[in-house]
Amino acid sequence: MNPNLQQVNHFFNKKRFRLSLILVILGLAYAGASLGLGFQTHSLLNIQDGIAWLIQNFIPNEASKGYWHEISQQLFRTFLVAVAATTCAAVGALFLAIIGAKTLTAAITVSWVIRGFSSLLRNIPIVAWAMILLFSFKQNDLTGFLALFFMTLGFLTRAFMETIEDFGTEKIQALQATGATYLQVIFQGLLPEIAVALMSWILYMIENNVRDATLVGLLTGTGIGFIFNLYFKSLRYGAAGLVVLSVILLVVTVELISNLIGRLLS
């Protein structure tokens, strides 16, 4: 046999072996976890009963139509909290990212401090943020706003920082070479170049925060999350179903609009 062909065959055999090994390991991990939890895999076969119950009870009926006014009001409120938190956080994040990006920073320690700070903010789950803030700010929209704000600030700082670093130093140097000042370089060079990328991060975060705001509202007792909880616990499943439906509708709409804006920008 051709020695080159032999080598190729050997290469593919090795690759196949590695793939099989990974699959076996994953299978064992599942088996181990199920055993530990006492989870019976065959109970998945009866899942249709649960789903059938869900559909029967949660489909909005005639009675739930009466809730529409309240739902739409709370939905809009939740949407506004998400947008406000995202835009406020974006301004702060841009500032932090500019002074923290490795390509622009005055001192590398500043960069590390900001990196650490943003990582701390975004690695605390949104639910934990809401619970912590609940103690100091009680049940109101501000609590939800702040929870979303902190998480978004952490996320966007990191995203903006990477956008700025990807932009590189060549064009910054070109403007410095004309004798431009630091602020002139930022406003005349950096911001026009990265504006579209920043915008798409902000739109992505608004989408994300509309979803998260629902969950946060459930904990902080405000907005759409709160009325979902209320209807659900008072066994008004039809109305709760309508809430879920309206949230899905809102999220999809926001996503479509943000896609449209993204296309217009690029």
Partner 1 sequence: MLTVNHLAKSYDGEKKSLTDVSFSVRSGEVTVIIGPSGAGKTTILRSINQLIRDDEGEILFDQIDMRQLNRVQLRRARSHIGMIFQSYNLIEPLTAIENVLHGCLGTKSNFAGIFSIYNNREKEEALKLLQKVGLEEFAYQQCRNLSGGQKQRVGIARALMQHPKIILCDEPIASLDPKSTITVMDILRGLAVNDGISVLINLHQVDIAREYADHVIGINNGQVVFDDRTQALSDAAITGIYRKNANLEGSLVHES
Stretch that binds partner 1, among 56-64, 148-156, 180-188, 200-208 (CB under 8 A): 180-188
| The two structure tokens encoding residue 54 | 């869900």
Among 131, 193, 204, 255, binds partner 1 (CB under 8 A): 193
What count of residues does the chain have?
266
Task: Say how far apart CA 252 and CA 247 lie, in whole Å.
Answer: 9
**Structure token pair of residue 35:** 């055993």
- Closer Cβ to partner 1, 6 or 181, answer by number: 181
136 or 178: CB nearest partner 1: 178
Residue 120 or 174 with smaller CB distance to partner 1:
174
Distance spanning both ends of the chain, measured CA to CA: 54
Other Cβ atoms less than 10 A from the Cβ of 251: the count is 16
Q: Is 106 in the site for partner 1 (CB under 8 A)?
A: no
The CA distances from residue 245 to 21, 25, 69, 228, in Å, are 43, 39, 14, 11
Taking the C-alpha atoms of residue 158 and residue 164, their distance in angstroms, rounded to an integer, is: 10
Q: How many residues bind partner 1 (CB under 8 A)?
A: 20
CB 63 within 8 A of CB 209: no
Q: Give the shortest CB-107-to-partner 1 separation in angstroms.
A: 16
Please say which residue, 196 or 249, places its beta carbon nearer to partner 1: 196
238 touches partner 1 (CB under 8 A): no
Residue type, 176: Q
- Of residues 119-178, those binding partner 1 (CB under 8 A): 170-171, 173-178
Question: Rounded to the nearest whole angstrom, what is the least distance from the CB of residue 182 to partner 1 in the complex?
Answer: 9
Distance CA 138, CA 127 (A): 15
Stretch that binds partner 1, among 20-28, 75-83, 184-192, 256-264 (CB under 8 A): 184-192
Find the binder of partner 1 among 36, 38, 50, 179 (CB under 8 A). 179
> H-type helices in 68-181, by residue range?
68-100, 108-123, 126-137, 141-167, 170-177
Which CB sits closer to partner 1, 42 or 263?
263
* Residue closer to partner 1, measured from CB, 110 or 174: 174
Residues forming the site for partner 1 (CB under 8 A): 170-171, 173-181, 183-184, 187-189, 192-193, 195-196
